[in-house]
Structure 1
Amino acid sequence: MLYLESPTNPAIEVVDLPKVISAGKKEGCLVVVDNTLATPIVQNPLQLGADISLHSVTKYLSGHSDILLGCVVTKDKSLFDRVEQSRRYGGAIAGPFEAWLALRGVRTFALRMQRSQENAMELAKRLEKDKRVSKVRFPGLPSDPYHERAKSFMKGFGAMIAFEVKAEVSQIEKMCNSSKLITHATSLGGVESIWERRRRWATESHTIPENLVRFSVGIENVEDLWADIQDSFSAADIS
């Protein structure tokens, strides 16, 4: 099996899916792509040749941070039958209320994703110009090393930003804790904006910089979000 995630979490790197999927298929691999961060609106792994596309429905698809649910998507009938049989025998079946919550969220998914992407693009541009930020990772920026690759097969750039702050770890933690509109939490993909310093978790890869903040951009007013970011910088004495 060849298992991929793109964009990656939390570094927001874009895998050359057409090339890597093709290489995997030539080697006889079952190709599985975690498409949670991109969502089906931005990226369609099955159309690029993948066998299975995975989603954390908890995130963008449901969009309200109130269920724990996932889904497996495939066009291959034999694969579907195997997954469905495993689910049936293992008992991993969503409850009626969780299914209803997911369906409720999917009904507004396209509108939510459009607004979140618009907000993310605007905030990424502003963060890139901010002297307190050393690096912004967002494929929608022309300066991003994955910009051209993302344009070649993605239908948007998503709503996840990672940015590195020119400050001490304690200041960055205080910044994240000081926000009033942006929620300081670990999840992502909800209507509410969420951020955190990823290396606060011992299990996070040491390849992720200590000063990296992962920012899941929600559907709030973009000016309100920007004001909250500025106030949070100030509260942490980051100048």
Structure 2
Amino acid sequence: MSPSSPHGPAVSPDTLVVSAGRPVREHDAPVNPPIVLSSTYFGTGSPVAGERGYGRYSNPTWDPFEEALGELEGAALPALVYGSGLAAVMAALSLVPAGGVVVMPRHSYQGSLLLAAEEAANGRFSVRTVDIADTREVIAQLDGAAMLWIESPTNPMLEVADIPVLAAAARDAGALVVADNTFATPLVTRPLLLGADVVVHSVTKYLAGHSDVVLGAAATSDPGLRDQLLRYRSLHGAVAGPFEVWLALRGLRTLALRIERSQATAMELARRLREAPQVEKVRYPGLPEDPGYARAQAQMNGFGSVLCIEVAGGAAAAEKVTESVRLWLPATSLGGVESLIERRRRQPGEPHTVPEGLLRLSTGIENPGDLWNDLQQALTR
């Protein structure tokens, strides 16, 4: 169940995606919030006083989405929307003091890794990369750290972190905990309720869900941290367009249905693919033999909608599969209604520990049998 909503008693997250962020119930009022296209507002207010003042500080179209996402994550405060997922990532990394240490999964979103490496090269902070699934290793690296960055499951290796244990250890070490919850979404994992201080999202992916906007978001229950994240957004201009945020809120309304369908499809495909002779390994935390299965059962509501396979024959065979599919779309990104397939090592910045023949599959909402048939014919070519 969700913490109590300002709109009424506690409800489940799959109800919140529909009910949160609605306008006040008044006669003849719209049931959906309108789009406000304005760069400035009447008055002499300032964001310091909690007033809008100027379009770089606030927009009425942002408010409903930020309220809804904050409620979904179990935050005590509205979330903050950013112009992209990387803008949200950078805002979170800005919380690290100069000369600090960030402990980050070696397998993370490529943009996060590259951004952190760039900041480290510029001398702002240093980075220690870890196997986030190895709890003992992570805790050992927390000595003197200012921030622990968590992805669970990781992108693209789908490792599952023990979030409650790591969050408690980081707190003991005096480190902030930031969790990238893009893969899981708050319908599957709620890191703030497991001990994280800040959650970030690429809203582009599951939250918006239709591969038609680029947005990011951050959520926290700490007023001081939220003020810092808001200041970063305002000062660095990491702002979102109102139309994009309106589209994201519209997409959020179907999140529960999309996740329910895509998770079930991912599980079915994982079970079938592990029997395919052309597949050397299936990575999916919903399989009992997966190393992250027990943790996923303990802290996730489902197992996510992304799975990975390692194709026999390496990079050439994996590329052939992406060229042979007809229903799956060979493209980067994930979390849309359409199913996407990509050989991750084709990206030049991907870590070398990611196998050359690994394919990341983001399952959409198509018929599972059709998706399987398409994969099967591509694998046999």
Output the aligned Cα RMSD: 1.0
Question: Distance in 2 between the 1:229 and 1:50 partners?
Answer: 38
- The aligned counterpart of 1:147 is 293
Superposition TM-score, scaled by structure 2 size: 0.61
- The aligned counterpart of 2:261 is 115
Cα offsets for 1:209-238 (capped at 9, x unmatched)? 11111111111000000011012123xx3x
Cα offsets for 1:47-73 (capped at 9, x unmatched)? 011100011000000001111100001
Cα offsets for 1:100-157 (capped at 9, x unmatched)? 1101110111110110001000000000111111111100011111101111111110
> Which amino acid in structure 2 is aligned with residue 34 of structure 1?
D
Identity over aligned pairs, percent: 55
Aligned pair 1:167/2:313, yes or no? yes
The alpha-carbon deviation at position 170 of structure 1 amounts to 1.8
Superposition TM-score, scaled by structure 1 size: 0.96
- The aligned counterpart of 2:373 is 227
Cα offsets for 1:145-193 (capped at 9, x unmatched)? 1101111111110011011111242222121122111000111111100
Higher helix share: 1
- The aligned counterpart of 2:341 is 195
Rg bigger for which structure?
A: 2
- The aligned counterpart of 1:89 is 235
The list of structure 1 runs, each at least 4 consecutive aligned residues, that deviate by more than 2 angstroms after superposition, is none
Superposition pairs of residues 42-191 of structure 1, within 5 angstroms: 42-191=188-337
Question: Distance in 1 between the 2:322 and 2:191 partners?
Answer: 33
Structure 2 spans left out of the alignment, 5+ residues: 1-146
- The aligned counterpart of 1:11 is 157
Query: Bigger relative contact order, structure 1 or 2, given CA contacts below 8 A and separation 6+?
Result: 1
Q: Secondary structure at the match of 2:187?
A: helix
Question: Distance in 1 between the 2:219 and 2:155 partners?
Answer: 20
Structure 1 spans left out of the alignment, 5+ residues: none
Question: Distance in 1 between the 2:314 and 2:267 partners?
Answer: 26
Count of residue pairs brought into register by the alignment = 235
Question: Distance in 1 between the 2:291 and 2:170 partners?
Answer: 24
